[in-house]
Amino acid sequence: MRIALLFLILLLPLHAARADDEALAPYQPRFSRERPVIAVVAQNHMTELADYVVPLGVLRRSAVAEVFALATGPGAVELMPALRLQPQATMEAFTRRYPQGADYLIVPAVHDSQDPALLDFVRAQAAQGATVIGVCDGVLVLGNAGLLHGRRATGHWYSRRQRLADYPDTHWQENRRYVVDGKVITTAGVTAALPVSLALIQAIAGQPRAAALAGEFGLQDWSARHDSQRFGLGASGYLTAAGNTLARWNHEVFSAPLEPGFDEVSVALAADAWARTFRSDVQGSAAHPVTSAAGLLFLPEPAGGHPVLPGLGATAMQTLDGSLDTIARRYGEATRQLVAAQLEYAAPERSTPLARRNTMDNP
C-alpha cells in the first residue's frame, strides 16, 4: 500500500507538468519594438478560411500586437471553402518593411504546401528568430520547410497518415489542440485556430487579457486539452458526403451579409461549417468591399437573392454551435457529424469521453 501511494505521489508532478507543457513562452521584446509583429500568411489560390481569418480577427481585435494579413502574391486571397479577402501586403512587401522579420508567423492550411516562395519565406522568418505557428495542416508547410525535424507536433486528424509517412522523424502528438516545441507551434484541425490565438495573446499580454477576449468570443477553455481520437469519417461519413454531393437538386446557396464592422470570426466559422455540408455553398454579399471589425477587407459578390446564412449568434462559439444545430435540423444528424469531423470540433456539451470508434485511421 505504501509503495502504491508513493508511486502516485511521484506521478503527480509529472502529471502537472504534462498539463502545462503546451504553454507558449512569454513574449520577449526584440529590436526595441513596443509591440510584437505578427504576420499571418495566405496563398492567394485557396487558403483555409477559418485558419486564416480567425487568427487575424482575434489577434487584430486584441490590440496587443501589430498584425498583418499577408499573401504569397498580389491580388485577392480565395479562401476555401468560401469568401474572398484582400490582404494588406505580399510577403515581399512585408520583408522590405520588416527586414529583421516578424516575431510570430502564422501559417494556415493552403492548397499547395510545397509552394517554393512560401517555403522560402517560412524558412527565412524562422532563421530570423520568429516563432512559427502552423494552424491545422499549415503543419505540412512547416514540414516541407524543414522545421519539424526531431520536434513534437500535431495536425488535423485527417492528414495523420500523410504526416507519418512524409515526416517520420517528427514526434506526432495525439489529443492536443496545439503542441509547443520551442519556437515551433502546431495545432489540430480547423477550430483549434481560436484557442491557439488566445494562447498567443496570453503569452504576449497575460492571462486576464486572454480571458477577456475569450469571453467576447464565447470560449471558456483555450488550453491544449483535446480528444482528437473521437474524430473520423468512417464509412458513414463518406456515404453522407457522397449522398449529399449527388443530390444536386437539393443543393442551396446561402448569402452571408457583409456589413461594415461585421464579426469576421463568427462569419468565418459559420461559412466554413455550411460550406462543408456537401449540400450548400456560401457567398459573401454586399454592394462594395467591406471592412470587418478587425479591419480586414472582404471582397463580396453581388447579392443574388439567396437566403441569409442561418445560425448566426451573439458570439463566435454560439454561432458555430448554432450553425451545427441548424445543419442537423436541415440536413440531418449525419451531416452535422460530417461537418464537425472536418472542423475537428465537439461542442462542450458533447465533449464527454467516448470509446474510440472505427475511423479511416483506426479500422
The third-level CATH classification (topology) of the domain covering 232-350 is Rossmann fold (3.40.50)
Asked if residue 350 has pLDDT above 50, the reply is no
Calculate mean pLDDT across residues 267-287.
95
pTM (two decimals): 0.90
Domain boundaries, the chain: 30-228, 232-350
pLDDT higher at 282 or 354: 282
Task: Look up cell 451573439; give the residue.
Answer: 314
**Cell 485577392 belongs to which residue?**
76
Q: What are phi and psi of 111, to 5 degrees?
A: -65, -40
Percent of the chain topping pLDDT 90: 80
Amino acid at 287: A
pLDDT digits (tens, 9 = 90+) for 163-198: 999 999 999 999 999 999 999 999 999 999 999 999
User: Of 84, 71, 21, nearest to 289 (Cα)?
Assistant: 84
Read off the pLDDT band of 219 (50, 70, 90).
very high
Above 70 in pLDDT, residue 53?
yes
Across the range 147-172, mean pLDDT stands at 97
Percent of the chain topping pLDDT 70: 90
For residues 7 and 222, which has the higher predicted lDDT (pLDDT)? 222
Q: Answer yes or no: is pLDDT of 4 > 60.
A: no
Which pLDDT score, from 0 to 100, does residue 247 have?
A: 83
The 8-class DSSP code of residue 226 comes to: -
Task: Indicate if the pLDDT at residue 259 is higher than 70.
Answer: yes
Q: Which residues on neighbouring strands pair with residue 107, listed in sequence order?
A: 134
d(CA 85, CA 50): 12
Q: Is the pLDDT of residue 316 over 80?
A: yes
| Average pLDDT score, the chain | 89
CA distance 279 to 276: 8
User: Read out DSSP for 339-355?
Assistant: HHHHHT---GGG-S--P
Task: State yes or no: pLDDT of 14 exceeds 90.
Answer: no
Does the pLDDT of residue 356 top 70, yes or no? Answer: no
pLDDT tens digits along 76-109: 999 999 999 999 999 999 999 999 999 999 999 9
pLDDT at 19 over 80: no
- Total Cβ atoms within 10 A of residue 49: 28
Average pLDDT over residues 263-291: 96
Assigned fold of 30-228 = Rossmann fold (3.40.50)
Tell me, what's the pLDDT at 166? 96
Q: Do domains 30-228 and 232-350 have the same CATH topology?
A: yes
